Amino acid sequence: MTLWRHETRLLLRSRLALAALILMALLSAAAVAAGMAEVARQHAAIDAVAAAQAEDIGAVADYVDRTKDAGSAAYYSFHPTWDSPAPLAFAAIGMRDVAPYILRVRALGLEAQIYDGDTFNPELALPGRFDFSFVLVFLAPLFAIALFHDLKSGEREAGRARMLDAMPGGRRLWFRRAMVRFALLLGALIVPFLVGAILSGVGVGAMLLIVIVAALYLLFWIGLAALVARLGHGSTANAATLAGLWLMLVLVIPTFANVAINRAVPVGQGSEIALAQRERVHAAWEIPREETMRRFYASHPQWADSPPLPQAFHYKWYFAFHQLGDESVADRVRAYRQGLERRAAIANSLGWVLPSVGVQALLTRLARTDLAAQLAYQDRIRAFHRDLREFYYGYMFRDRPFAKADFAHAPRFGAPLTP
């Protein structure tokens, strides 16, 4: 036990090591704080939705209440959806800075709405976020290199190696030293994260998993440093070699793989879906309205007993062709989504051989900030949109008046469906 204390004291007496450990802890703490602030901002934005929405829908209700027309209610009412950050989101912001986490939808064609973005500054998004995953994936290896590149070669260069080797239990010495460096580095990295995780209410299991992942990732770099050290070059050559490896593993290969994956899995531009959907929607104005209704009732028999269309404009026809427009591009939507998922899947499987990519993928998965989480949010929006349609159709197709009070019965995102 005292030996461990001795090694710790010896390490902390080295100015370089102490500075590295303190800097690691500071960077980790800053990243955790930045991540938590961002998540708090997102929570606040989501919390502010209700008040803004109440004001907006109140105005629509005032207007609609004059005619009690369900179609106008459906047409003018935007309904908010949101994707609350998971407790762990602070550690890996992932795609949450470029993909919207609040989106309002109407009961109209969803394909023209679901790809909308939120306001963000692309120049700020370009370099990537400063969050815990960045500190872990990009910076921690540099600190591991700083602490481990001269583990043995440093003693050799200082002329102590032979003396140390002549001590009984020489091999355990290197193990102890490596463990002390590893434990302190991991501590500097992970303690700020654990504090943030506890404050954010992250589950013990997830916390433990991330500690293990961080430890394994550091061990990967320590192992790499050990391999490089076995080449028997000096500390300087070791540091240069390791920094070169870092550049390849963390920057060059992932960017190269991105190009390769995007080439290998062509994904039709999403804009093609929007264009096709618009053509289908607006084509309805050129064909007899009854034709549209016949097609709609064929696939939605539950509304088929609705009274025939009147001479004048009726919203149920309008909404019917919007829905048919959505359904006409369902295949394209599926293909588009599968393409995105395939790209992400290849990138994730690359993570099995490229730890930097693997750790990033795992963190964003655990934090629910990856593509899968985005798509899951879109699924929830789609489900909610289905509820919205059902709700308004119940008035439109049955010609029930839609009064001010009915606005309160509209489905709410995230709440169980009111029958």
Partner 1 sequence: MVAIRAARMPRPPRFGATPLMMQETAMPNPNSEILIDAVQLSYGSHHVLNGLSLNVAGGEVYALLGGNGAGKSTTLSALLGFVRADAGRVAVGGIDPARDPDGARRRIAYLPENVALYEHLSAVENADYLLALSGTPRARAAIVEALAAAGLQERAYDQRLAGFSKGMRQKVAIAVALLREVPVLLLDEPTSGLDPRATSDFNTLLHAVRDRGTAVLMVTHDLLSAADVADRIGFLEGGRIVEEVTAEGPARFDVRGLRDRFAGRALAA
Partner 2 sequence: MSAVSLIARDELRLMRRNRVAVTAVVLLVILTLVAVVTSWTHQQGIAAARAQHQAHADHAFEAQPDRHPHRVVHYGHFIFRPLGPLAAFDPGVDAFTGNSMFLEGHRQNTANFGDVRQSSPLIRFGQLTPAFVLQAVAPLLLIFLGYGAVARETERGTLRPLMLQGASARAIVLGKLLALGSVALLIAVPAMIGFALIAGQAGAYAGPMATIVLAYAAYLALWVGIVTLVSMLVRRRRDALLALLAVWAVTVVLLPRVAPEIANRAYPLANRLQTDVAIARDLRRLGDSHNPDDPHFAEFKKATLARYGVTRVEDLPVNYKGLLALEGEALTSRLFDHYAARDFAAQAAQNALVGAIGLVSPAIALRQTSMAAAGTDFEGHRRFLEQAEAYRYDLIQRLNRLQAEAVTYADDTAEDAGADKRKRITADHWRKLPEFGFRAAGPDALVRASLPGLAVLSGWLVVIGAALVLATRRLGARR
With vertex at residue 340, the alpha carbon angle to CA 336 and CA 342, rounded to the nearest 5 degrees, is 115
Please give the residues from 311 up to 330 whose contact with partner 2 meets the rule CB under 8 A. Answer: 311-313
| Residue from 21, 110, 333, 347 binding partner 2 (CB under 8 A) | 347
Nearer to partner 2, 117 or 419 (CB): 117
Question: Residue 16 or residue 40: which is nearer to partner 1 going by CB?
Answer: 16
Q: Which of residues 124-143 bind partner 1 (CB under 8 A)?
A: none
Residues 191-230 that bind partner 2 (CB under 8 A): none
Residue 164 is a binding residue for partner 1 (CB under 8 A): yes
Distances (CA, A) of 230 to 16, 168, 177, 245, 333: 23, 22, 17, 15, 53
Q: Which helix (H) or strand (E) holds 102?
A: strand 102-105
The span from the CA of 214 to the CA of 191, in Å, is 12
- Interface with partner 1, residue 160, by CB under 8 A: yes
Q: Which does 167 bind (CB under 5 to 8 A by kind): partner 2, partner 1, none?
A: partner 1
Q: How far is the CB of 3 from partner 2 (least distance, A)?
A: 27
Spatial contact of 172 and 164, defined as CB atoms under 8 Å apart: no
Provide φ and ψ at 60, rounded to 5°: -65, -40
11 near partner 1, rule: CB under 8 A: no
Helix (H) / strand (E) containing 79:
strand 79-82
Q: Which two tokens stand for residue 29?
A: 């703490």
Residue 343, both tokens: 């790209």
Candidate residues 159, 266, 416, 419; the one interacting with partner 1 per rule CB under 8 A = 159
CB-side neighbour CA atoms (13 Å) of 400: 12
By CB under 8 A, how many residues form the interface with partner 1? 21
Site string (132-161) toward partner 2, x via CB under 8 A = --x---xx--x---x---x-----------
Site track 85-124 with partner 1 (rule: CB under 8 A), x = hit: ----------------------------------------
- List all residues 6 or more positions away from 180 whose beta carbon is below 8 Å from its beta carbon: 4, 7, 8, 11
Interaction pattern, residues 160-189, with partner 2; x per rule: CB under 8 A:
------------------------------
Closest distance between partner 2 and the C-beta of residue 209, in Å?
Answer: 20
Q: Which of 117, 122, 127, 169 binds partner 1 (CB under 8 A)?
A: 169
Angle at 102 (CA atoms; ends 96, 106), nearest 5 degrees: 140
Residue 419, interface with partner 1 (CB under 8 A)? no
Q: Indicate the pairing of strand 102-105 with strand 79-82.
A: antiparallel
Among 24, 89, 91, 99, binds partner 2 (CB under 8 A): 99
d(CA 305, CA 397): 9
Rounded to whole angstroms, the Cα distance separating 309 from 311 reads 7
What values do phi and psi take at 159, rounded to 5? 80, 15
Alpha carbons 129 and 151: distance in angstroms, whole number: 32
Decide: is 121 part of the binding site for partner 2 (CB under 8 A): yes
165 lines the binding site for partner 1 (CB under 8 A)? yes
10 binds partner 1 (CB under 8 A): yes
Instruction: Centre a 10 Å sphere on the Cβ of residue 157 and count the other Cβ atoms it contains.
Output: 13
Q: Which helix (H) or strand (E) holds 24?
A: helix 15-47
Q: Could you tell which of partner 1, partner 2, none binds residue 174, using a CB distance below 5 to 8 A set by kind?
A: none
Tokens, residue 324: 């048919």
Contacted by 237, from partner 2, partner 1, none: CB < 5 to 8 Å by type: partner 2
The least CB distance from residue 177 to partner 1, in Å, is 11
Q: How many residues bind partner 2 (CB under 8 A)?
A: 99
- Of 41 and 172, which CB lies nearer to partner 1 in the complex structure? 172
* Residue 37 or 163 having the CB closest to partner 1: 163
Half-sphere exposure of 112 toward its Cβ, with a 13 Å CA cutoff? 18
- For residue 106, the 8-state DSSP code is -
SS3 305: coil
208 binds, among partner 2, partner 1, none (CB under 5 to 8 A by kind): none
Q: Which stretch binds partner 1 (CB under 8 A): 28-36, 146-154, 159-167, 311-319?
A: 159-167
Q: Taking CB within 5 to 8 Å according to partner kind, which of partner 1, partner 2, none is near residue 212?
A: none
CB of 285 to partner 2, least distance (A): 6
- Extract the tokens encoding 280: 């289908």
> Which residues form the interface with partner 1 (CB under 8 A)?
2-3, 6, 9-10, 13-15, 158-160, 162-170, 173
